[in-house]
Structure 1
């Protein structure tokens, strides 16, 4: 807040802000007109008071004071030019060290240099920056001193004092120079500390030491007498350099260290699990589960600290999920690499590539020729995770096929983890996985499965909401849940006493009130004690704290966490309270520039900018070590619950405006970064809260497509569903069509046919132009095909082809021709099918659509197979595989491989068929393509039966039947029933065989599948024969021959003829021999 240090303005401004807030609260009762009239003079007076104080502000800074030791005798020895050269080097080295850490050299006083950190812009780590600058300055001056001694025979060691405290910062006259003057006792203390420091040392005040505790090695000096200051003081000598940390420092009461309370059993369990996986070279995923504030982060930090004390090497990787990226595929996995490689979200592509390449190479270690070392491996993973960009922002990997990228990227990450785990145990610590995206959760669960090499332990923290998303989480082998219970009352009392350990006496009544109010939550305990300190129930002014007698009776202690946190926020000055609300609108994690924009929009921005440094002093927010967005300071609320309470404190009338500003700011930032899709869900959330339904829907759609492209199907449906809901009462038919088409495409991949049907019915009722209508009709044709309604497909596909041609969309026309031809192939109209598929192939090649061309060729291979042209089919399928390989389309190639497997099965080359089918099945499962998975399972069951592996055949058939029933795949259902029936017959279970075959026959006739009808009738004839019913067998065999003739499928006809011969031979017909 810009104001005179002790003047009347802060109090008067506070009164005005409270009056304005009170009037705003009456808006619903009094009406806008009355409120605006009453507000006008108050707002004008507030603005005049703020303007009158511009140019001066109180703020906390860290002051560094450096001086040369015994420089006067040296100056007498040196020639003035030599002295000038020495001093210029000294001043330049000092300035470089200060400015490298964001400080400002405020003045030179003889040999002394005074620098201020936080002068122009406060940072939470200003004290740490000052200490780092002092260390760098000392190192540089030691080199300079060595040169001075060697050249001139004189030494000029430096000593440095640092203090943190409040100063008055005043802009110099004129206001445009950018120069500031800092005035206050802090500067004097820093100078006195410098004078008391031994030569070559750095001496900190207690206030500075408290801010950097844990980051540097410090040695305490007690009872230091400093000239001009009253009484002895404690100071700290810096003895070690700083370290960077993933975990925020400073939880609890400043200056008070506490032991972990009530978690001995959980920590013992985690140590046992680590020992177990090391002994077995195994893998395990452990989720530490508990409510917000229960102590999950403390447990993870304790685990990391324990690992650091082990005598053996351990790889420790860390990552964190945040709510804004819950809909972003692979966001949690990306955070692990970003933290390890120090990549920011808005680093330019060159920086991202450089940091990624360096980090990947360092993890690989010594080369051994493995695939993860191969050309393009690092770039593949980087592109998959959203890091691999060239200078123009394009993907550097040759393929744009998402499933291929996903398959290859995940394989390389798995191989990298295996590589690390073979060298030393790998421990991955993950925070807040209840906010993780679905794709990362799938990857995390897969780590617990079989197939990995080496030792790997994942320890993740999560709230119970994770089990609402994933009820099965923790149930599979290799996964554990480790719930954190609330503290017992005795444990809570122990924690209260630890936090108040510096108090002379702590009344039992106070301890009991805190423990009872906290209800076993360690965070609640800490926050309640902090509130007591703020309210001066606990006086921390002296080294030994005191508790005011009777204070508990005089003050009302909040009975719920919400009341507690709201009480903490209410003690903030009005301007800071307004800024807290703006920050809460941005989110749990927020940025200084975003809050500045919001605060300006609602007229709560102080003239000196948003006071996030003072909010950090109040322990409401903490500055994060690195920012997602370059050029911004990134902060987070001390706890998610603090953010929630602050957000609820924002007037609803202001929330829409604030969210609109947040959306605008975030859009600007992500558009500049060129990585829009990663943040689309976050932008959408702000637009939604702002009431911008169309904009929100558009951004949710973008986020949903991004998730679908990464095969994060659950996330895609959730995001697209938000877009759909927002358009419920909005006249945006074009956008709604796009949203529904995106939803239908994901449902198609998942095989959720009934839901597809609902979506297509809605699409049919919406107005649409030729292009959109063509896409709708193509989706309709696709659904009809996969439900086995082949005869209904041709007119729909023909209509789509005409609409596509009218719209000038050659790609859609080729798709329509393909779907038309495919349906005719399954209706055994082979000549017509070939003509259409060849036309589609010509169209696809004309526009360079290799994926479409590959599918056309695959279907032409199906036609050749049905006609018994096996060698021709193999040649065509080889051409199809080449088309898909030319664009690195792994899923398309898998479809061809599966078709080759079916052909080889019909040719009796069973082992080759099995290998091809299993290869295709693995790809379809990885990509979530359930329809294709069902086809492969059925074929594998048939192959197992033909190879005499009847147990495998029956189990495979049951799996195929279950899946095809789930996805409403009519043809797949019939095929799986036939396979089960034939396997049951060979296993001697004739009753089950007949039941499966008769059900399959009914389904086949309902869906007009003459090919399968012929096979099913032939199979029933074989069952009749096994049961001693020759007349029934002959009847079924005759009908099988009739259906085979209708189907024009030689293979089916040959099987019907074979069964007929077997029946006649069993009946003693000599002509059948």
Structure 2
């Protein structure tokens, strides 16, 4: 406790009792002589509420010459016995506490048989003996910041975790119980000697949930227990023997190791269907942190991951031989990325290596170099208790011992660890110079260390890494090839590194465990009892092979006594049909937030509603505070490390230190207040950024949704989906669109929004190549719309699947749109039918459109390994004939252009016009001349399909802003077989169409990008020059995928050529 808290409690004790010995104060508050003198001075001289009597006793005066001040609150109310500092905390923040769902530990304590013992004594004398016992109980509760909610004759009821949150509420309650037992035993010994009356207390505890409904001005809390939370605590107290403390399994699982217990076995409890295990607390335990507790529990068996371990071993061997390596392990949370590192690092393979481990944390992005600082402290063996001078000595000594030539690296490293002397010249450098020297110093230090001994560096959770640490890592990676460093990193799928082109880089995907490994893990956790079969099947189904979820689910089953026995030998206690997946408790930050002054806490909560990044202008608008007050409170929150000022220009912006602080601050808000603040934030964004609403569409969608303004939430979710679509982030767009449609059901009079959302969703599924889902969305839109024109527009988007048969093989094609001209699109295997969906989407209202699945793709039959250009052309002919279409314009994209040229040469009457896009007349010659083709072939032969596809995607899409499109390109083609991909690049002289070009009589348009690396521009020019009468249109600075990266221009040129046979004077004119 702080001195102020001790003073408050001493004042309360002295006021109630009138006289208190110094000896009692020392024992009660664990004070030394100096602290007692300070307390005397404050009470006697400063507060003037007490006088000294013979140097042994403090006597209450209520002020010099004044009688004792009366307590304005009745003693039977919580306000009457709650210390001022706790009362103030509760009252100043009670509005934010009311309505909260809190995890708490409930404590009951009373004096067993006290009334019987004192029945023959004068009531005043009896009260004089019993009040000090209640006082000691309450002091113990308040010492650990619990709240006494009721005083019941000779006992109390207290809560830990509400109304003031504590992440260790069970531990605090146990320590309070031990403290009150020890204090009462001391007092009881005095009473036994002076009055011959034995006094003992008994204590019972249980943990669970309560919903705090209201808090009165007298601090009385109206709450509702969830389940048996309060009832079980009271039963524990009633069963306890005098002088003992009983707890339930719910308390023990939260305080295990922190206290020593003796199990008393299962005890029947009235009102409960099964007996409850009861434990007696014997004293404090050895554990003082969660880490110690986790180590004490022990790790489960490590299963599977043999292939992943082997890849790590190969990288280790290469690095040891002077060929530094980077291995990135990627996987969803809980799949075992960290466990994989743990097992590898602690294997015999790493003996003789210097191992440095660090990890990013969810709250670290606003703190520069956070994981770097972590590994530097490990490397230099810096302890938390080291003084600045000691830190300097450790760093300087180690660096100079390593290599005196590294002396210039010492100031940058000292600056990172905040140990740089004030007069060091390094401080006079500008920020860019300092940053450059810091990054260079880190690189030099590690490279030199690796020359002395091989170095294994493990950086975990890169998805939370701050930009400066990322820069340090990137620079280190550039220097790895000739070092003896193995850099291990792991991250979640949403993170993207930039090291893929490096030959010394390996990306290792860790997925949920396959079924055989899940079976092995479950046998290790549960055992092999035949009765566990259904439970194991349920666990596999519900957890999807995620090892973390499996372990936590089993732990919950054990805690809830659904399983009996011990690890590896459990028996199912009763049938289970559902599983409770445990939630992670994040009460640590709730406790810190509760300690803030009310104004700062409210400001932090308002900031949390805005988001993890908090523009000052928005915060000021919704907080309604003068600028000076706002900045003062923000300064306090910065000082307490809740917020950081992350940007000054063009406008100040703050960020939460980490996401956990944000989540807990947000979660502590009342639902009604949360809704109101979200509305305020949304309206403020609309007003301040009226000309940039698209930029803020995601934020506005979220705020209006949480503010329950459903119509606007739908509107902005759809805008966010449209924006994501424009950025080729189709998966993100689907999520926004789906959310809009879910919210549309809650809104009124927004049928138009629902139709708009369904059509957009259909377009997105089309872009993702999912025809079935696309048509389902269009069908729903048709049902939702009552406008005939809108229905025709939607119908034109529906994809009607057909098939043509040639030589008994099925060629699938899709027909949609309407019009007097039919555009037939065909593209090769690598392009997929969705590759020109953006073009089709814009043209289907005025043209009938057919697009083809070439043999070996989509719904068409597989193709033989050897399948010639002419056979593809015949497939196109079969589709055209099966469609019954007239006035055909053939549009061949990439190698599909050679098929269309071949068709035009052999069946000229089928095509009215011909359009050849991003094609080359001699693929066999072209592929022999392009430097990347051999690299792709080699990667495919080595089984590195994804890496090969990424190279192909980067070549096809060189334009900036296509990152999402590249990812979609790779995702959509991973299902293609390696043979199919290799076959695409095999030399095939029959694929060349040079000899056919002079015979083409169909009006032809050649469209080509000037920056096309996959089919260089020279091929487009050759086609235009050698096809009689052909016209050439070039797309300046564009690559191979023109339908995606130049959609509007592409459609304008194509439309003009189809309608007029000419090129547009300008693109705008074509529209």
Select the structure that is richer in helix.
1
Range of TM-score over shorter length: 0.3 to 0.5
| TM score, norm. by length of structure 1 | 0.35
Select the structure that is richer in strand.
2
| TM score, norm. by length of structure 2 | 0.35
